[in-house]
Amino acid sequence: MADYDLIVIGAGPAGLTAAVYGRRAGLGVLVLERTIAGGQMRLTGDIENWPGAVVTTGEELSEAMRNQAQAFGTEFKDAMVTGIEVAAKGGLGHTVKTNVGDLKAPAIIVATGAYHKNLDSDKAREMAGRGVSFCAICDGGFYRGKEVAVVGGGNAALEQAMYLTNHASKVHLIHRRDEFRAHRLVQDRLDKNPKIQKHLSHEVHDIKGTDGVEGLVLKDKKTGATKDLDVPGVFLFIGSAPHSGFLPPEIEKAPGGWIVTDRALKTSVPGIFAAGDVRDTELRQIVTAAADGALAAMGAYEYLQGLK
């Protein structure tokens, strides 16, 4: 017999919203989380783009979402999911393998999110959320009228650097190679933006500041010379990756490991849905993750109705 109707893996905004919608549809829902509910919101200080709240904090929003899911009767379990065994045709459900045992459910929502690659330095890790940012849309507004830095050379770095010029007085774009990897068209647009200053063949050698970023020391990769940049914020776009390594090959993934879904957020395996940042999607934000959670839960409900 299945243990639950629906198992949600991950308690970020996607997973917690899925739990609310699943419970309100009358499903028995278990949420598995390896750390603490909230996901990447926990790494966020102020949030200015959650509808209805002019400003809230990541911690407040995490608590509120978790409490709401719990108020509707969601069960939570601290567990690290290590794999999924896809049900045989006509079987009793998929098996979710965790560090605290196996659990069965006919419907599963994978909402395990993603992570942004950081610079390989203790200082950068320490300063994440205190001037080291991975999201221009989220944090750009905190730098109105100030100079900021962007690290990276791909499309994301260049697009986000241009986005930041809506807020910042100047954007320093730092890339370790002597040319960008971004598409030519994107580079042409960048070249027309007078607020961007390029620092090619440079890398971040040090981050200055104790409670928050106060500046950067850049190193010229060709000459070894260093120079200071007085910026209170640095945005890193040096790659991101989904938490999808534990999933079986039956679940189709796009290059990079992002889960492929249809418009109803079904994966390639019947009964398994994906929601939020882990998905192959265009925008990774709290509001889109929450919307995904709702869609996936309603998809799971429809799927379960079809099994009756």
Q: Which of 56, 68, 129, 269 binds ligand FAD (CB under 6 A)?
A: 129
**Residue 1's Cα: distance from chain center in Å?**
34
Residue 80 as a binder of ligand FAD (CB under 6 A): the answer is yes
CA dihedral (136, 41, 238, 110) positive or negative: negative
Choose, from 5, 102, 120, 138, the residue flagged as catalytic: 138
Beta carbon nearer to ligand FAD, 32 or 300 = 32
Does the annotation count 102 as an active-site position? no
What the block records as the tokens of 79 is: 């567990």
The window from 34-42, 184-192, 198-206, 260-268 that contacts ligand FAD (CB under 6 A) reads 34-42
Which residues, listed in sequence order, are joined to residue 226 by a DSSP beta bridge? Answer: 219
Beta carbon nearer to ligand FAD, 94 or 284 = 284
Beta carbon nearer to ligand FAD, 190 or 251 = 251
**Distances 251 to 132, 158, 260, 269 between C-alpha atoms, Å:** 34, 32, 8, 6
State the virtual CA torsion across 15, 297, 246, 137 in degrees, nearest 10. Answer: -50
Does the annotation count 135 as an active-site position? yes
Q: Pick from 90, 88, 84: which is nearest to 10 by CA?
A: 84
Residue 160 as a binder of ligand FAD (CB under 6 A): the answer is no
Helices (H), 115-240: 122-126, 136-139, 155-164, 184-191
By CB under 6 A, the residues from 244 to 283 that bind ligand FAD are 246, 276-277
Min dist. Cβ of residue 167 to ligand FAD (A): 14
Does the annotation count 78 as an active-site position? no
Choose, from 135, 206, 220, 280, the residue flagged as catalytic: 135
Min dist. Cβ of residue 144 to ligand FAD (A): 15
Helices (H), the chain: 13-24, 58-71, 122-126, 136-139, 155-164, 184-191, 286-307
What are the residue numbers of the active site? 135, 138-139
Which residues of this protein are in contact with ligand FAD, per CB under 6 A?
9-15, 32-35, 39-41, 43-44, 47, 49, 80-81, 111-114, 116, 129, 134-135, 138, 243, 246, 276-277, 284-287, 289
